[in-house]
Amino acid sequence: MASDNGSGMIDPAIFEYLKAHGEEEIEVGDKLHQITASLNRSISTCQGLLSRIHSTPSSKLAPLLKQVEETGIQPEIEGVGELAQFASKYPYYKYNHRWSRSVQNVVGTILLTAWLGGMGTESRPGELGRLLTIEEIGEILKVPVNLKDRDSFHVTIEEYLLALTDITEELSRLAMNSVTLGDVALTVRISSFIKDLFAGFQLLNLKNDIVRKRVDAVKYHVKKVEDVIYDLSLRNLLPKTE
C-alpha cells in the first residue's frame, strides 16, 4: 500500500514517454480541427454558390462559374494548402480520416466547375464536358497526388473516386433542371457523360468499403438521367442527331 508512483516497478521514462506522445496527439488533433473547420466553411460557401447552377440558364453560366472560382474555389485551395503544410509533418494515414471528407468535397467542387466549363487557364481554356484528371486536380491544389514513395500530404485515388460519385449526383440533378431551363442539349451531354463514368466504375474490383457503397449509388444517378431522357424522347423533344 505504501508504494506510490515511485515504486520502482515503473521506469519514470515510460510515464514521460506516454505523456509526451499523448500531449502531442491532442495538440495535433486540436490544430487539425481548427484547419478543417475553416476549410469546411470555404467548402460550404463554394457548394452554395455552385448550387445556383440549377437555376441559372446556360447563357448566364459563365459569370456564375467565374464567381465560383474566385470566391469559392480560391479559398478552398488556400485551405487545402494550409492543411497540406501542417499535415505533412505527421504520418499521413494516422490522421487522414480527419480531412478525407473535406478534401473529397473540394475535389468535387473543382471537378464540377471544370466540367461545366470553368477552371480555364491561359494554355487551356475551360470547355463544357471536360473531366479533370487526378493529376490536374493536384496541380490546381498544388499538392501531390497518389503518393507512394514518401509519407506526406496528398490527394488519394479513393478521394478522387468519391468526388466523382459526388458530381454524378449533382449532374443528375442538373440534367432535370436544365430541361426546365430549356437547355435540352446539356441534358443529353450529361447523360452520355454519366454513362461513361458508370462504365468506368464497373471496371473497378471493389471490396466492401465506402467506395463500393458510393459507387453503387451511381446507378441511381444514371437511372435518374435516363428517366429524363425517356420523357424527352417520348415527346420528341430531343434535339435531332445529325
The residues binding another protein (CB under 8 A) are 1, 3-5, 7-11, 13-15, 17-19, 21-23, 25-26, 29, 91-94, 97, 131, 133, 146-152, 157-158, 161, 196-197, 199-201, 203-207, 211
User: Among residues 89 and 148, whose Cβ is nearest to another protein?
Assistant: 148
Least separation, in Å, of the C-beta of 12 and another protein? Answer: 10
Burial class (CB in 10 A: 0-12, 13-18, 19+), 196: exposed
Q: Whole-angstrom Cα distance, residue 151 to residue 103?
A: 17
Residue 56 Cβ vs another protein, minimum distance, rounded to whole Å: 26
Whether the Cβ atoms of residue 187 and residue 229 lie closer than 8 Å to each other? yes
Q: Which is nearer to another protein, 23 or 231 (CB)?
A: 23
CA-CA distance, 177 to 21, in Å (whole number)?
53
Nearer to another protein, 121 or 133 (CB): 133
Beta carbon nearer to another protein, 54 or 98: 98
CA distance 57 to 49: 15
* Owner of C-alpha cell 455552385: 50
The cell numbers describing 220, all together, are 441511381
- Least CB distance to another protein at residue 195 (A): 8
Q: Choose between 68 and 134: whose C-beta lies nearer to another protein.
A: 134
Least distance in Å: CB of 46 to another protein? 24
17 versus 230: smaller Cβ distance to another protein: 17
Q: How near is the Cβ of 149 to another protein at its closest, in Å?
A: 8
CB 117 within 8 A of CB 73: no
Other Cβ atoms less than 10 A from the Cβ of 106: the count is 28
Min dist CB 120 to another protein, Å, is 19
Query: Which residues, at least 6 apart from 131, have a Cβ–Cβ distance to it below 8 Å?
Result: 111, 114, 115, 193
